[in-house]
C-alpha cells in the first residue's frame, strides 16, 4: 500500500572472529528519496543493541573493524527508507558484511567411539569419542564438559582437561574414565564440547552427546576370619596376654578394593566392663589393604597386637563391611577369652586313654609366650624313660588349648612296641631359664597328679 516510510531487515549475520566492513549498493529513483542503515550488535545470549545508526545508504563501504566480535559475535542490518512526495522506496540492490568466520566442530562417532553399556560397580568406565573441526578455521584449546546423572538424579561432574588446539579439518579424541563406585544402577552420560560459548563457533547442536549405561551393583556380603596366634578360638578359651590377632576381610568384588580403614572397627571389652576402640595408629593395629584392581583376590589384612596386663575375661568385637556397605555377617563378630599372665601348664591329659594304637596329648599353656623348650617323657611305672617326644615332633605350640599333631603309637625310642600296661608321662619345659608350673584340676586329677600323668596301653 502507498506509504511514505518502510524498512528492510537482514537475517542475523555471523558468528564472526573479526568484523571487517559493510558494503552497500543502493539507489534512489526520486531526489526526494532518503535512506539510512542501522547496524545492530547481537550478543551470545541473544540480546541486541544498535551500534551504528544513520549510516547513509549511498555509501559504498563502511568500516566495522572496531566492533568486538567477542562481545557481539552476530550483527543484523536494518535500512529505513522514506519518500513523502512520490511514495517510492529507495532501491536496495545488495548489502554485504565482510568478516573472518569462526570455526565449526562436530562430534564424529563414526570416526571413533568407545563406550560399554554395562560395567561392574567400581570398574572405571572408559568414554572416548572423536571431535572434528569441519571448517578451515582453527580452534583454540577446546573446553569439554562431561556429567553423569545417576539413578537418584544426582549430577556428578567428571573433570576433563581441555583438548589441544585443533587446526582446520583436523580431529581430536575426547577421553575420560568415569568412576562407577557410587553409580550402581542406570546412569546417563551427558557430553558437551565448547560449553557456554567458551569460544565462538558456528553451530552448537552437533557438540552434544547423551548415552545411558548400567552399573551392576555389588550385593554379595564380604567374609571375615579372625585367628589368635594362628588358631580359631571358642568362647572363654585361654589366649596369650600378648596375642597376635589376625583378621582377614575378603570380598568377591574385583574392583571395589578393600583399601579403607573405615571398613573395619576393632573394640575390646575389658574385665572391668570398659569398652575400648582401637584405631589404626602405631604398631598395635595395622591395616594391609588390597591392591591391584581388578584384583583376583580382594583381601584386606588386619594385624592386631594388643597387650593385656590384667588377668580376667576379655571380649573382642569386630565389625566389617565392604566398599558397597555390605556387612560381614548380620551381627558383629564377638568372642570372649581368658587372660592368665602367669606361665603354666594345665589340663594335661592324653586322649584317648586307654588307647590301643595311638594317643595325642592335650594341655593348656598360659602366659605371654610359649616355652622355649618343651618335651614329653614316657616312663614305665618304675621310672625308666622309654620314649622322649621332642618339641619338633609335637609341632607348633601356642598359648591356650593345644592338641598335639603328634600321635604316640606305643613304641619306645627305637621303634619297638612296648608291652601292654600302665605308663607314666611328664612334661619338661623351660621359659627364660625356668620351668613352668604344672597345674591340675578336678577334671584331670584322675589322670594327672603331682606332675605325672597316667595312661593305659591296651593292644
Inter-residue contact 357 to 249 (CB < 8 Å)? no
Residue 446: pLDDT band by 50, 70, 90 thresholds? low
Distance CA 55, CA 34 (A): 11
Average pLDDT over residues 158-174: 97
Residues 6+ away with beta carbon under 8 Å from 442: none
Radius of gyration for the chain, computed over Cα atoms and rounded to the nearest angstrom: 44
Q: So what's the pLDDT on residue 391?
A: 87
Inter-residue contact 304 to 284 (CB < 8 Å)? yes
Distance CA 93, CA 379 (A): 130
Q: So what's the pLDDT on residue 401?
A: 87
Whole-number average pLDDT of the chain = 92
Residue 445: pLDDT band by 50, 70, 90 thresholds? very low
Q: Is the pLDDT of residue 120 over 90?
A: yes
Inter-residue contact 300 to 259 (CB < 8 Å)? yes
The three-point CA angle 184-188-192 to 5° equals: 140
Point out which residues pair with 37 in neighbouring strands: 55, 79
Q: So what's the pLDDT on residue 357?
A: 92
What percent of the chain clears pLDDT 90, i.e. is strictly above it? 75
Lowest mean pLDDT among 80-84, 253-257, 267-271, 429-433: 429-433
pLDDT, tens digit, for every residue of 349-361? 889 999 999 999 9
Of residues 273, 254, 276, the one with CA closest to residue 265: 276
pLDDT, tens digit, for every residue of 35-51? 999 999 999 889 999 99
Q: Is the pLDDT of residue 444 over 50?
A: no
Q: So what's the pLDDT on residue 449?
A: 61
Give 248 or 2, the one with higher predicted confidence: 248
Inter-residue contact 360 to 403 (CB < 8 Å)? yes
What percent of the chain clears pLDDT 70, i.e. is strictly above it? 97
Distance CA 276, CA 272 (A): 11
Distance CA 146, CA 209 (A): 10
Which residue reads 563391611 in cell numbers? 321
Distance CA 398, CA 239 (A): 8
Q: Is the pLDDT of residue 289 over 60?
A: yes
Residue 442: pLDDT band by 50, 70, 90 thresholds? very low
Cell of 259: 583399601
Q: What are the b/e assignments for 288-327, b being 16+ CB within 10 Å? A: eebeeeebeebbbebebebebeeeeebebbbbbbbbbebe
Residue 178: pLDDT band by 50, 70, 90 thresholds? very high
Average pLDDT over residues 235-239: 92
Residue 193: pLDDT band by 50, 70, 90 thresholds? very high
Inter-residue contact 64 to 39 (CB < 8 Å)? yes
Which residue reads 558484511 in cell numbers? 97
Distance CA 65, CA 1 (A): 39
Lowest mean pLDDT among 127-131, 179-183, 219-223, 441-445: 441-445
Amino acid at each position: 500500500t502507498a506509504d511514505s516510510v518502510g524498512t528492510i531487515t537482514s537475517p542475523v549475520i555471523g558468528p564472526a572472529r573479526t568484523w571487517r566492513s559493510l558494503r552497500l549498493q543502493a539507489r534512489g529513483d526520486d531526489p526526494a528519496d532518503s535512506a539510512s542503515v542501522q547496524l545492530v550488535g547481537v550478543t551470545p545470549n541473544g540480546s541486541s543493541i544498535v551500534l551504528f545508526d544513520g549510516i547513509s545508504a549511498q555509501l559504498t563501504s563502511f568500516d566495522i573493524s572496531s566492533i568486538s566480535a567477542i562481545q557481539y559475535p552476530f550483527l543484523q542490518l536494518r535500512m529505513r527508507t522514506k519518500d513523502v512526495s512520490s511514495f517510492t522506496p529507495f532501491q536496495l540492490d545488495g548489502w554485504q558484511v565482510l568478516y573472518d568466520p569462526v570455526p565449526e566442530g562436530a562430534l564424529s562417532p563414526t570416526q571413533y567411539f568407545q563406550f560399554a553399556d554395562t560395567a561392574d560397580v567400581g570398574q572405571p568406565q572408559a568414554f572416548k569419542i572423536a571431535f572434528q573441526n569441519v571448517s578451515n578455521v582453527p580452534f583454540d584449546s577446546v573446553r569439554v564438559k562431561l556429567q553423569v546423572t545417576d539413578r537418584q538424579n544426582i549430577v556428578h561432574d567428571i573433570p576433563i582437561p581441555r583438548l589441544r588446539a585443533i587446526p582446520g579439518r583436523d580431529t581430536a579424541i575426547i577421553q575420560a574414565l568415569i568412576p562407577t563406585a557410587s553409580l550402581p544402577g542406570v546412569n546417563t552420560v551427558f557430553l558437551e564440547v565448547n560449553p557456554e560459548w567458551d569460544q565462538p563457533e558456528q553451530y552448537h547442536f552437533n557438540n552434544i552427546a547423551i548415552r545411558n549405561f548400567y552399573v551392576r551393583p555389588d550385593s554379595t556380603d564380604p567374609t571375615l576370619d579372625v585367628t589368635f596366634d594362628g588358631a580359631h578360638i571358642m568362647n572363654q578359651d585361654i589366649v596369650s596376654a600378648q596375642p597376635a590377632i589376625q583378621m582377614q576381610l575378603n570380598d568377591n568384588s574385583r574392583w571395589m578394593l578393600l583399601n579403607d580403614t573405615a571398613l573395619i572397627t576393632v573394640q575390646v571389652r575389658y574385665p572391668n566392663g570398659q569398652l575400648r576402640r582401637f584405631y589404626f595408629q602405631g604398631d598395635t593395629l595395622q591395616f594391609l589393604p588390597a591392591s591391584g584392581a581388578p584384583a583376583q583376590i580382594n583381601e584386606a589384612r588386619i594385624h592386631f597386637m594388643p597387650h593385656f596386663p590384667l588377668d580376667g575375661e576379655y571380649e573382642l568385637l569386630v565389625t566389617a563391611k565392604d566398599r558397597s556397605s555390605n556387612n560381614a555377617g548380620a551381627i558383629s563378630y564377638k568372642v570372649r577369652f581368658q587372660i592368665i599372665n602367669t606361665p603354666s601348664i594345665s589340663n594335661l591329659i592324653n586322649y584317648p586313654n586307654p588307647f590301643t594304637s595311638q594317643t595325642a596329648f592335650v594341655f593348656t599353656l598360659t602366659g605371654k609366650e610359649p616355652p622355649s623348650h618343651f618335651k614329653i617323657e614316657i616312663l614305665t611305672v618304675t621310672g625308666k624313660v622309654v620314649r622322649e617326644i621332642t618339641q619338633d615332633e609335637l609341632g607348633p605350640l601356642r598359648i591356650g588349648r593345644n592338641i598335639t599333631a603328634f600321635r604316640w603309637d606305643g613304641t619306645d625310642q627305637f621303634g619297638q612296641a612296648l608291652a601292654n600296661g600302665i605308663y607314666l608321662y611328664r612334661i619338661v619345659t623351660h621359659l627364660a631359664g625356668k620351668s613352668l608350673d604344672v597345674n591340675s584340676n578336678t577334671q584331670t586329677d584322675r589322670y594327672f597328679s603331682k606332675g605325672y600323668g597316667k595312661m593305659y596301653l591296651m593292644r
